[in-house]
Structure 1
């Protein structure tokens, strides 16, 4: 078996892992188990920050042992989402021009997932899949792609990651973008979070806090909160204060949902551009916030690097609080990248079920239980993290609302290889299912396609004609799951 080991200065060949690496987390047996069915035991050419230099390190296997006595306390959970961040927008994922030292350091200290996916291809359905641990199509609100009005939202009676962890003794907070419904019927504080500070809608202008409909959209709890500073700064300050706070000995869950690098394309200090967008919004210009006539690769780079610094500031606050070792930090994007994102070598972007629309950068760090410098090739998606965090946090799922995700706790902490399963996606006009290295895909053109992702991550070599039986089998598997879900109106 081979395992990629992240080094402080890029990727290089390494000697055998240390005893400690085998003893904790995704090292040793877990790393070996991290390969999907039929996956190569090393990274494909082109993957990672230094694609031509990447090599695999020869390892053996050891039983998971030392970690059992290393820690017993339930962790705090810091779950960070970027917004419309592409799979290769971090330098540790291959970006040739964006520098993300703080997130790269987080990856070196934990596990970098190469085959991790969002629960859907747009904002709110993925958030539904995270908060409920279920396919978006299980609930009416999850059918909106994304939510754009006050008619639907996350049912306050539906159990959530926050409500279940709160029932198990966690303090809970959501800071940043909610996008799972609007007041008066829907709110994080109605769905299990003790505290909420952020925006309800899918996007807002970074300074004025005006949303897609021209409404003011910054709230503390259910009341408007005035702060006209750059939004990413405001969220970073709030999150840093939360992790430094004394929670009375209770473990805590903080969902930190940045809007960066979602449009409009304004970085900290772009007050003139902000003022022009605000002028257009107030003049009634529909779509002004989409900023179709603005932005650039350079501006997008600036925004991603600002996101990286902001995450770094929150992690610094966590370290200063003395809780770093006992906090599980998760970082990912809510879906694939948008206009200026760097997704190579993936095809497609946000809104599509091609790899570029749903494969996202994903990093997990928990110093007390998971050793750093690990890379996992296990196919995973958003609902899995719900199940994982509930198990790690000692909370039981609600039997009336069974999870669609699989807990990765046995994989991360004991090295148990997950059973082969199917990852399912559905959006209007597209369908996709992954089993092992095979992906079944039907786009808006209506043709069924089959791709072997270990050999063809770009989804250019359609194997449908060569593998008709497998294609039919995966299509039936997709249709069986689809039959369980709510139909689109």
Structure 2
């Protein structure tokens, strides 16, 4: 197993397996890679009390454009995120977790399909900006496969995988949808990039009335998600994809009605770039939005606990890509849209009280398609063999103490390419130079080792080019 990886302790109805390695203690504001270690619990045999392990509910939470170090548990010195820090202390915090791509919709494609975005036409849009493409309703998804295995499914929040009438969550495996179709919306008016009202309850077809709710969007999503996790689902386990838009631009926090009105005025005046909010925002405003996201997650987790389902619910939290203008990414280089570390390395936390011990840190490199494969295995759903997954299930690593074989993580965006194997990363940016970085010594990607390791550079470059040939070409 690579030296950077750490085994984890696993809980199975009171028994712990695979606990011979050390686990890192989680301090609330500890620097990401320097946490102290402590002995793992003593190894005990796996026991399931004479019954099969219960399939968990799955609460999969995404922040939007949240940077890798934007949580205090990941090193942010000025942002206080006690609820997400507590979630990390109760589960596993991943230091080397990545998004499936560097922008919104391709990463969502990689999560919903478990495949590289470039496998599908819709995944080539970086991100989707019009109605010409989307997630093909005939393509199997995390939701459709889990629903076929007996799960209730819902998506609350940002979809960004295509527009009606051809594309929507309810056409791709989710029983319920409440949220927005586009990549961004103004938090009060719900106006999208084209000035349209973008809040839906299910599919709004011709002749149906739009669903109107002009309260602050994060409050609405939090309320809806809290209701869903507290609902009686009968004997069915459930999957809830909770996709916040926070802290995506425009930089409008709860209570900023005056700023909201100004942005809306510009949208209605025909300013096509008003939602990008290039004339607004600040580090302080961004901090306020991230802390509001943290409180909102805390409220949903409180509702989950009060429902009595906390123990048997796997909670996952991450961002859809790296941070934006006001994000705190230190020491990483790059931001959203780039395949540098700051564009794709994201905060990632997993908690499952029935099966995973808390207070753990994993340095294993993982990325979005891995979670699709993992959740399908844990949920007892079989992938469709006609659409092979590109991710690796982490269930064995997390729950059975199995080692993860060394492999390559692959990314492609227009003008950039990247491969990570172990501690090494091959990267070519828009400048066209092939670079090689040892991330164990240089997370900031400043010491180019290409000249020192020409054979490794050539090998990883060949890996990228071979994989690239399997994918659809970008449209001209």
TM bin (shorter chain):
over 0.9
Distance 1:64 1:82, change over 3 A: farther
- Which one of 57, 67, 77 corresponds to residue 76 of structure 1? 57
User: Following superposition of structure 1 onto structure 2, how do residues 71-470 of structure 1 map, counting pairs within 5 Å?
Assistant: 72-223=53-204, 224-470=210-456
- Which one of 66, 84, 106 corresponds to residue 46 of structure 2? 66
Distance 1:415 1:289, change over 3 A: same
The alignment covers a number of residue pairs equal to 466
SS of match in other structure, 2:193: coil
Deviations 1:279-307, CA, capped at 9 Å, x for gaps: 00000011100000000000000000000
How far apart, in 2, do the equivalents of 1:48 and 1:3 lie? Answer: 21
How far apart, in 1, do the equivalents of 2:46 and 2:385 lie? Answer: 34
1:51 aligns with 2:59: no
How far apart, in 1, do the equivalents of 2:440 and 2:312 lie? Answer: 35
Distance 1:48 1:119, change over 3 A: farther
Distance 1:367 1:48, change over 3 A: closer
Deviations 1:446-489, CA, capped at 9 Å, x for gaps: 00000000000000000000000000000000111001000011
Deviation at 1:166, TM superposition (A): 0.1
Deviation at 1:225, TM superposition (A): 1.1
User: Contact 2:22 / 2:38 at 8 angstroms: preserved in 1?
Assistant: no
Aligned to 2:461: 475
Q: TM-score by structure 1 length?
A: 0.91
Distance 1:369 1:137, change over 3 A: same
1:28 aligns with 2:19: yes
Aligned to 2:207: none
Deviations 1:329-380, CA, capped at 9 Å, x for gaps: 0000000000000000000000000000000000000000000000000000
Aligned to 1:11: none
Gaps of 5+ in 2: 205-209
More displaced stretch, 222-231 vs 74-83: 222-231
Deviation at 1:28, TM superposition (A): 2.2
Deviations 1:237-258, CA, capped at 9 Å, x for gaps: 0000001111121000000000
How far apart, in 1, do the equivalents of 2:65 and 2:32 lie? Answer: 27
SS of match in other structure, 1:205: coil
Deviation at 1:54, TM superposition (A): 4.1
How far apart, in 2, do the equivalents of 1:379 and 1:53 lie? Answer: 13
User: Contact 1:4 / 1:57 at 8 angstroms: preserved in 2?
Assistant: no
How far apart, in 1, do the equivalents of 2:108 and 2:236 lie? Answer: 25
How far apart, in 1, do the equivalents of 2:10 and 2:407 lie? Answer: 32
User: Contact 2:12 / 2:48 at 8 angstroms: preserved in 1?
Assistant: no
How far apart, in 1, do the equivalents of 2:10 and 2:394 lie? Answer: 23
Distance 1:122 1:64, change over 3 A: farther
How far apart, in 2, do the equivalents of 1:375 and 1:30 lie? Answer: 12
Deviation at 1:218, TM superposition (A): 0.1
How far apart, in 1, do the equivalents of 2:379 and 2:328 lie? Answer: 35
Deviations 1:97-149, CA, capped at 9 Å, x for gaps: 00000000000000000000000000000000000000000000000000000
User: Contact 1:218 / 1:226 at 8 angstroms: preserved in 2?
Assistant: yes
SS of match in other structure, 1:66: coil
How far apart, in 2, do the equivalents of 1:52 and 1:418 lie? Answer: 22
Distance 1:142 1:281, change over 3 A: same
